[in-house]
Amino acid sequence: MICDNRYTMIIDFHTHLFPPQIIQQREEYLQRDRWFGLLYGNPHAKMATAEDLIESMDQAGVDACVAFGFAWRDNKLCQQHNNYILQAMIRYPGRIIGFAMVNPSQGESALLEVERCANEGMRGVGELMPDGQGYTLQDESVMRPLMEWLADRDLPLLIHSSEPVGHAYHGKGTMTPEKVYRFIQHYPETTIILAHWGGGILFYELMSKVREACARVYYDTAASLFLYDDRIFSLAVTLAEDRILWGTDYPLIGHDRFLRRVESAGLSPASVKKILGGNATRLLGLSQGECP
């Protein structure tokens, strides 16, 4: 247990894990899912198992990680992947906090799956990727049942989001602030975590209407080192200090490197503590200073 570290508790809110079997049969899965083919077709695109993750966490002094699989289009693949995350939660209790992956456009089977995963201890749903999974956030019939289920269970949804400008990259998608903002306004009862700083929605919180609408919105920092320069940390703290969650997008970026960048971003110790674990602790309902 590493909990007695300098920030009470360090939680990475955004990591992707894969079962060894998918890593070994990568070629086959590249054919089975178009979006997976786009993101992982490059043999240098890293994939990690639960053991890899724990090793990286131990090296960097990270206490716990929110971990999920890949946003497959086929719910059967999501289920298989969820099983791996559930097993990892049992192997590493308290260190791996699972989120369930589903394709909400596949109706009843998606709700049954999130129910199963929540009953087995998962703490949320995500990282959904509407572009890859073949639906839009605006589709009521797809999103409403899941969003209401999440609100009832008081569990958060983590969705991919991206910048409408800047460089192109595989998996960027079209979940840009305009679309995501409409989605948020539609489901005020559900806690939503926007990956990758919400594609920049955060900055519109300078507008009071947007700030009000985003009261239940959290932002994770996943992949930030590839997207923004490090001034974003101090800017973000002035806008939404209590709703920023440190997330790496591991194994895309390793823990050690990302931690050092946050620590040298010129933030106050209190802000660093919130970003690296305090906010996540509160959101996940873990008691402060206690390992999950």
Nearer to Zn ion, 226 or 270 (CB): 226
What strands lie across the sheet with 157-159, from one edge to the other? 125-128, 157-159, 192-194, 217-220, 244-245
Q: For the chain, what is the largest distance between any 2 Cα atoms, rounded to a whole number of angstroms?
A: 50
The rounded distance, in Å, linking the Cα atoms of 97 and 88 is 9
Main-chain phi, psi angles of 55, to 5 degrees: -60, -45
**Separation of first and last alpha carbons in the chain:** 10
Nearer to Zn ion, 172 or 274 (CB): 172
Least distance CB 71 / Zn ion (angstroms): 9
CA distances from 6 to 61, 257, 260, 272, 277 (A): 10, 17, 13, 10, 11
- Structure tokens belonging to residue 189: 């009862």
Nearer to Zn ion, 7 or 36 (CB): 36
The rounded distance, in Å, linking the Cα atoms of 103 and 76 is 10
Give the count of alpha carbons within 13 A of 118, CB side only: 20
Nearer to Zn ion, 170 or 209 (CB): 170
Please choose, from the candidates 165, 201, 156, the residue with its C-alpha nearest in 3D space to the C-alpha of residue 14: 156
Please choose, from the candidates 165, 133, 147, the residue with its C-alpha nearest in 3D space to the C-alpha of residue 38: 133
Nearer to Zn ion, 94 or 171 (CB): 171
Least distance CB 173 / Zn ion (angstroms): 8
Least distance CB 90 / Zn ion (angstroms): 26
Residues 195-254 close enough to bind Zn ion by CB under 5 A = 195
Nearer to Zn ion, 195 or 240 (CB): 195
- Structure tokens belonging to residue 141: 């019939």
Least distance CB 281 / Zn ion (angstroms): 22
Residues 39-68 close enough to bind Zn ion by CB under 5 A = none
Q: How far is CA 210 from the centre of its chain?
A: 22
Nearer to Zn ion, 100 or 195 (CB): 195
Least distance CB 208 / Zn ion (angstroms): 28
The rounded distance, in Å, linking the Cα atoms of 193 and 224 is 15
Least distance CB 252 / Zn ion (angstroms): 9
- Answer for which of 73, 81, 95, 160 binds Zn ion (CB under 5 A) is 160
Number of residue whose CB is nearest Zn ion = 160
Segment interacting with Zn ion, rule: CB under 5 A, options 78-86, 155-163, 212-220, 273-281 = 155-163
Nearer to Zn ion, 69 or 292 (CB): 69
Least distance CB 288 / Zn ion (angstroms): 28
194 makes contact with Zn ion (CB under 5 A): no
Contact 92, 101 (CB under 8 A): no
- Residue 73's CB: how many other CB atoms inside 10 A? 19
Least distance CB 6 / Zn ion (angstroms): 28
9 makes contact with Zn ion (CB under 5 A): no
Binding site for Zn ion (CB under 5 A): 160, 195
